[in-house]
Chains A and B, each alone.
Chain A
Amino acid sequence: MSDDESQTRDAGFDEWLDAAEAGEAYYLECANGHGSLPPRRVCPDCGSTELEETALPESGEVATFTVTHVPTPAFEEDAPYATAVVDFGPVRITGQIVGVDLEAIENGLEVEPEITVSETTGERVLSFSPV
């Protein structure tokens, strides 16, 4: 990512990272109860435009994971690192798994959001750590 890009925030997404850093992660819930992630104006499941920020359940479970050894340049110094899809019920979220040995990660592991910083770029990274 270039310096210019990193200086301009991505509205919706960076606010979400801010909230997660403050321990107040949320998802968007539509009038029909579908969950999704910002920035978003329309529910991708049903087209509802009534989206409300709703507290994310405190923890989720690892649904699937991988350990990446060949990264993009933006994570060159972070590899090897684990990435997982974490199921929170109303939404699933993808992030890195930190605070646990890579070998100890397994499906069903209970984790909570933790915003970390890339060792390569210094950018914020959506991560999860065991509860």
Chain B
Amino acid sequence: MSNVRVAGVGLTSFGNTPERTSRDLFAEASITAFEDSGVPRDDVDALLYGNFMGELSEHQGHHGPLMAEAAGVQAPATRYESACASSGTAVRDAVMRIRNGEDDVLLVGGAERMTNLGTAGATEALAIAADDLWEVRAGVTFPGAYALMAQAYFTEYGGEHEDLAHIAVKNHENALNNDKAQYQSAIEVSDVLEAPQVSSPLGLYDSCPLSDGAAAIVLTSEEYAEEHGLDAPVSITGTGQGGDRMALHDRDHLARSPAAREAGEQAYADAGIDAADVDFAEVHDCFTIAEVLAIESLDLFPVGEGISAARDGRTTADGETPINLSGGLKAKGHPVGATGASQIAEVATLLSGDHPNSEFVESGTTAVAHNAGGTVASATVHVLEVDN
């Protein structure tokens, strides 16, 4: 079984560029990824591309060939759609294809154009990741669904909005040095607590922004990287995927994410590591409460203790396990279909020492990327390690 190397990564700036098409966004990310990798486009065996709401925001289906064309790649292309975990699932399939010996070089990534829909339109588009009949028609929005989980968490394990506020403050702080981030501005706990409510207890500053953006990664087999003398010190050594019932009300537990736990356990076993080996993580903090559920699911913190981790400084840049050094979805932005691949790109550059925040994890060798879809009915987790 071949090891899988991260040969190159590319990200657009994430932000508010409503006029830019997803094909343009992905083209930009792919150019950066190819330049970073030194891999010629002709060597690409396939494109695996994540996108969630292209039908709604761009009246466009069948994204695969369109995006291969945009990237200048003449190879078969497939779109992956798993809500906000779309490109996480694309990465996972790419890893398995290379390991199986099916392919040597794959272009993986995703893009999303969202802000052209406006806040109301994008809220409606995001909501289709929930059960239309039994959730959306009752008025469930995405912030609303996570608010239901937050309230259930507070009831079961304690905690308060101020705990969540520290997560938003931390992630904004981490994004200050990330020039790709949507928000490079510090905020204070009081800003979060005083912000307008979206769905109680979550307010505007508990929520990630609407974002346009793209991410691209060139993955190769170990053999290809060696033969071509690539500078690719980071490998994806573990992959896992979990699933759960679609509607939140059908979960065994309203304040936990078993799909993410399952994905994490698989990925750790696959990489031959334990949670204790994880030096830092990028997790899917679409809302502040989601970071709590993620770090507990990944077993980085015991259930019920994730809520205070940011407030206690345990997950800050200088804490024991830095979480979301990129700024996370909260501050870096969340162009849905690009997010999973962008997390892999951020982790890889943090590990290789090329990230503005690499100084906080200089001794780190092992890190995790956690990508979640819906109210975590879909989840992927990847372990990345850097050569010593």
Contact = CB atoms under 8 A, between A and B. Distances in A.
Binding partners A and B: yes
Interface of A: 10, 13, 36-37, 44, 63-76, 78, 81, 83-85, 91-96, 107, 123, 125-127
By DSSP majority rule, is chain A's interface helix, strand, loop, or mixed?
strand
Interface string B181-197: 00000000000000011
B251 to A, nearest CB: 9
B249 A92 contact: yes
A69 B138 contact: no
Contacts, number: 105
B249 to A, nearest CB: 4
Contacts of A66: 144, 147-148, 150-151, 199-202
Contacts of A81: 139
A126 B124 contact: no
Nearest to B121: A73
Contacts of A69: 196-200
Contacts of A75: 139
Interface residues of B, number: 37
A37 B151 CA distance: 24
Contacts of B150: 66
Contact of B249 (A44, A70, A85, A127): A85
B127 interface: yes
- For A37, A64, A127, the residue with the greatest tally of chain B CB atoms inside 10 Å of its CB is A64
Among all A-B residue pairs, the 6 with the closest Cβ atoms: A66-B147, A92-B249, A64-B152, A72-B124, A68-B199, A66-B199
A13 B133 contact: yes
B151 A72 contact: no
Contacts of B148: 64-66, 83-85
Given A73-B124, A85-B248, A96 B139 contact: yes
